[in-house]
Amino acid sequence: MNCIYKLSKLNLLLGEEQLSELLQINVKTLRNWLKEETVPKEGTVSAKLDQIYLSIKLPPLDHSSGFTFIDLFAGIGGIRRGFEQAGGECVFTSEWDRFSQKTYKANFKDAHPIVGDITKVDTSLIPDHDVLLAGFPCQPFSLAGVSKKNSLGRLHGFECNTQGTLFFDVERIIDAKRPKAFLLENVKNLTSHDKGRTFEIIKRTLTEKLGYKIFCKVIDANGFVPQHRQRIFIVGFRDDVAFTWDDFNHPGKGSVLMKDILHTEDGTEQPEPPYTYGKKATVEQNFIISTKLWEYLKAYKKKHEEKGNGFGYGIVTANDTSRTLSARYHKDGAEILVSRGQGNNPRRLTPRECARLMGYPDSFQIPVSNTQAYRQFGNSVVTPVISEIARIMKPHIVSLVEADPSTVKETSAIWLTA
């Protein structure tokens, strides 16, 4: 197979930064190879490309793990964390956003590279696996996403020709690989989008077309973390199992409060630049919103209160539960502002506090800018919720694995078609 063809396909799948790193060349050199359609020592480069391909297709496995899984629309790995804690091993990752890839790679040391655009991936490239995990993009179904697309005169849901159709890539992979189980996650509004027709299409696709038994539940993360955050989870099994959501243990709303995730600012935490500084680990001044923005937010809220609706900022204290953290938090932080007492401008959460609000430990690395970090945590899942779902799924997954142990077979590289 032509070396440039292999190079261009892997560049499409992995992105030029990641592919350059794997080839041990700089991005400029890669771009020149692709532009000039020639590479030095083609045989050597071709062998390296085959090796990279096989690292995606046949990653080394730790056979002591209870089951294997793939991580689609992986974000920063929130769903993965829960299933690794349950004893699973990730054998394939797909995430298109390069900033999310950076955070993912900083926290998970894999032998397999991160594949970018899943729509370009032939299923022959995806390793066999026991469980498929996918938090497929939710903007076409979220209340904010539908409102925005309507205002722009754009289609949404399954009529959206971009993100909305990504569910069908999940379907395509499930159909081809037949995993023993899957977990899909989306916004609560998925159940009511298009008067429920969208969700019915998804359920019929999973059950009637693909033949899986599914179990759906809307879960509010309030209690796992101090945040009101409702999401729909769809658990599916290829064969009959005794799975039930009754086994799901919810700690109860209000079990944890904002004081459990806010910086203490009293010296009991180590300072973490650029979020906190000094002996008391005081929050940096740049997280305090400006007087101009504070006056605007107060006026905006007052205007909508006079109209009888609840639009406007949200203030939290140590003993509160917050609103839902969104990907737009980087814009003004209005949905979750931390009170600094009477007469003082409130502040935004720091990215570390956002990580805690989503259930990530302080050991989780944040190698990106504040703007990108806010987007990533706003788009993430609440990891303790996933851990609990993984816990109740695990015995049924393992029983299916033991009844039908999977094997990884050596295959020759099958290159993608144009």
pLDDT digits (tens, 9 = 90+) for 379-413: 999 999 999 999 999 999 999 999 976 544 444 44
The stretch 166-192 carries a mean pLDDT of 93
Q: Are residues 366 and 324 in the same domain?
A: yes
The burial class, CB within 10 Å (0-12 / 13-18 / 19+), for 51 is exposed
171 is in which domain, residue-wise? 64-251+382-403
- Measuring CA to CA, which residue among 381, 393, 385 is closest to residue 249? 385
Residue 201 pLDDT > 70: yes
Residue 409 in domain = no
- Per the CB < 8 A criterion, the answer to whether 227 and 357 are in contact is yes
Residue 242 in domain = yes
- Measuring CA to CA, which residue among 190, 106, 175 is closest to residue 140? 190
Which of the pair, 33 or 145, is modelled with greater confidence?
Answer: 33
Q: Are residues 231 and 299 in the same domain?
A: no
Instruction: Quote the CA–CA distance of 193 and 363 in Å, as a whole number.
Output: 38
Q: Are residues 98 and 242 in the same domain?
A: yes
Mark whether 216 is an active-site residue.
no
Instruction: Quote the CA–CA distance of 389 and 282 in Å, as a whole number.
Output: 36
Q: Are residues 185 and 83 in the same domain?
A: yes
Amino acid at site 110: D
* Structure confidence at residue 145 as a pLDDT band (50, 70, 90): very low
Residue 309 in domain = yes
Residue 416 in domain = no
Residue 35 in domain = yes
- The two tokens of residue 318 are 């140590």
DSSP state for residue 86 in the 8-state scheme = T
Q: What is the pLDDT of residues 342-362, one digit of tens each?
A: 999 999 999 999 999 999 999
Q: Where are the alpha helices (DSSP H) in 58-92?
A: 78-85
Please identify which of the residues 3, 90, 138, 160 carries the catalytic annotation: 138
- Per the CB < 8 A criterion, the answer to whether 121 and 57 are in contact is no
The stretch 13-29 carries a mean pLDDT of 91
Q: Are residues 216 and 278 in the same domain?
A: no
Instruction: Quote the CA–CA distance of 383 and 75 in Å, as a whole number.
Output: 12
* Structure confidence at residue 160 as a pLDDT band (50, 70, 90): very low
The stretch 23-52 carries a mean pLDDT of 89
- Which of 339, 361, 376 is the endpoint of a domain? 376
Q: Count of domains in the chain?
A: 3
The stretch 86-114 carries a mean pLDDT of 94
Q: How many CB atoms lie within 10 A of CB 199?
A: 21
* Structure confidence at residue 57 as a pLDDT band (50, 70, 90): confident
Rounded percentage of the chain residues whose pLDDT exceeds 90: 67
Instruction: Quote the CA–CA distance of 182 and 177 in Å, as a whole number.
Output: 11
For residue 374, CA distances in Å to 292, 295, 405 come to 22, 23, 41
Amino acid at site 165: T
Q: Are residues 81 and 227 in the same domain?
A: yes
- Per the CB < 8 A criterion, the answer to whether 325 and 378 are in contact is yes
Q: Are residues 217 and 357 in the same domain?
A: no
The stretch 321-342 carries a mean pLDDT of 96
How distant is the alpha carbon of residue 100 from its chain centre?
9
Q: Are residues 366 and 293 in the same domain?
A: yes
* Structure confidence at residue 323 as a pLDDT band (50, 70, 90): very high
Q: Are residues 93 and 220 in the same domain?
A: yes
Residue 372 pLDDT > 80: yes
- The two tokens of residue 386 are 């996933």
3-class DSSP state for residue 348?
strand
Backbone angles phi, psi at 261, to 5 degrees: -125, -15
Residue 151 pLDDT > 50: no
pLDDT at residue 205, rounded to an integer: 92
* Structure confidence at residue 129 as a pLDDT band (50, 70, 90): very high
pLDDT at residue 149, rounded to an integer: 41
Backbone angles phi, psi at 5, to 5 degrees: -60, -45
CA atoms within 13 A on the CB side of 381: 33
Residue 377 pLDDT > 80: yes
- The two tokens of residue 107 are 């926290």
The stretch 311-335 carries a mean pLDDT of 94
Residue 68 pLDDT > 60: yes
pLDDT at residue 417, rounded to an integer: 44
The angle that helices 98-107 and 370-379 make with each other, rounded to 10 degrees, is 80
Look up the CATH number of the domain holding residue 94.
Answer: 3.40.50.150
Residue 417 in domain = no
The stretch 122-127 carries a mean pLDDT of 90
Find the range with the poorest average confidence among 149-153, 171-175, 334-338, 381-385: 149-153
Rounded percentage of the chain residues whose pLDDT exceeds 70: 89
Instruction: Quote the CA–CA distance of 35 and 32 in Å, as a whole number.
Output: 5
Q: What is the pLDDT of residues 225-241, one digit of tens each?
A: 999 999 999 999 999 99
pLDDT at residue 155, rounded to an integer: 46
Residue 59 in domain = no
pLDDT at residue 138, rounded to an integer: 56
Q: Are residues 262 and 168 in the same domain?
A: no
Q: Are residues 329 and 210 in the same domain?
A: no
Q: What is the mean pLDDT of the chain?
A: 88
pLDDT at residue 137, rounded to an integer: 75
Residue 411 in domain = no
Q: Are residues 348 and 273 in the same domain?
A: yes
Instruction: Quote the CA–CA distance of 332 and 374 in Å, as a whole number.
Output: 11
